[in-house]
A = this chain, B = another copy of it.
Amino acid sequence: MADNPTRDTPRIAASGLTQCIAAAYRAAGIAAAEAQRAAELMAASDLSGADGHGVFRLPQYIRRIKAGGLNTAPDIRVIRGAKASALVDGDNGLGSLVVSRAVEEAIVLAREYGVGWVGVRRGNHAGAAAVYAAMPLMHDMIGLYFAVGNANHLPPWGGIDMLLSTNPIAIAVPALDEPPLILDMATTVAAYGKVKVAAQQGKAMPEGWMIDREGRPLTDPNRADDGFLLPIGGYKGAALALMFGLLAGTLNGAANGADVVDFNNDDTTPTNTGQAICVIDIEAFGEPVAFKRQVDAVIRQLHGSALLPGFDQIRLPGEDRHRRIAEREANGVPIPPALLAALDRLAAELAIPKLFG
């Protein structure tokens, strides 16, 4: 995974990576400004270490565009059903562009009403959840982001029919002098992107990520189709996936349950992906600096805890991400050999320059 590029893994600056992604999007028929914006959003996943959600997905996105399963010139519309909430119809455009539009709208609503809730329908896979949950931070706002995953890898608790997705939850809360706290978690023990990365890297999965249809541990990522991901906390994680799926999908008229299109195996059916973003303006509840100072205080209390045997530090949500962004901004984004080969093939197909050209 992201955590383990070797020292020899080739690296590319985020700006170069963004240029490469934008060139691919343009070659696939997306207008220059949208291609640039979508490339920046994709590279933001890579920069933050969410490697299963960044350029790793580019060949699949382009394949879908070429197959006619994604609209390269969508009419993304904001439908206002009430004052502080909205629905964004993505017209089957790139997920990143649709969701970022929804987040922008939610920020405007939160500034005016204290809270804004914007749902998305007819979108697509949008990349790392944290990228979107974190957007309100610079406005002294809190972001909560929920999404329906783009393939069902999870049965209801006690079942074996895969009817639920890994439905991620992301929450971002600003601090003052400390890095912001940013949770970005699948409701499963492992996100499916991690399974794909493990397969690409030829690594076994730890027990506890997946089981097969008999309930036995499944550790070979190439056998992922023979089983399903395990939810966190047993029935609790499956319930979280269900409830946030209803909020991010069903409420918006987007796919959920049996309607979810497996975008790994189907490049043509519109996915009707749903997401939801809730933005809270801190100022509606009190003085933002005082709040952020109090968040700092909580962070420092937690870091000050004595350690459980076997641990050498307390890691809070978003801290690894924060460190990784700094490290990758300085040293570039690592591109493992298998990914590089896939991107080289993509560049050849699209007749654009290679990443390391």
A→B interface (CB under 8 Å): 81-85, 87, 112-117, 119, 142, 155-161, 163-164, 169, 171, 173, 181, 183, 185, 189, 213-215, 232-233, 235-237, 239-240, 242-247, 250-253, 256-258, 278, 280-286, 291, 294-295, 297-298, 301-311, 313-317
Contacts and interface: CB of A to CB of B under 8 A. Distances in A.
A240 B317 CA distance: 9
Contact of A308 (B115, B159, B297): B159
Name the 8 nearest CB pairs between A and B, nearest first: A82-B114, A232-B233, A159-B305, A85-B114, A82-B284, A158-B311, A161-B305, A84-B113
Contacts of A251: 142, 280, 282, 285-286, 291
B83 A84 contact: yes
A87 B282 CA distance: 12
Given A85-B284, A232-B233, A242-B317, A311 B115 contact: no
User: Taking chain A's interface residues, is the majority helix, strand, or loop, or is none over half, making it mixed?
Assistant: mixed
A243 B163 contact: no
Copies in the complex: 2
Contacts of A281: 82, 85
Contacts of A155: 305, 308
Given A181-B242, A285-B85, A285-B251, A158 B233 contact: no
17 contacts: A81-B114, A84-B116, A85-B115, A117-B280, A156-B314, A156-B316, A158-B307, A160-B306, A160-B307, A161-B305, A183-B242, A185-B239, A239-B317, A246-B295, A250-B298, A252-B286, A253-B285
A215 B281 CA distance: 40
B160 A305 contact: yes
Contacts of A232: 232-233, 236-237
Contacts of A161: 304-306
B302 A215 contact: no
A181 B302 contact: no
Contacts of A83: 83-84, 112-114
Contacts of A236: 185, 232
A225 B245 CA distance: 37
Contacts of A239: 183, 185, 316-317
Chain B CB within 10 Å — which of A233, A244, A256, A310 has the most? A233
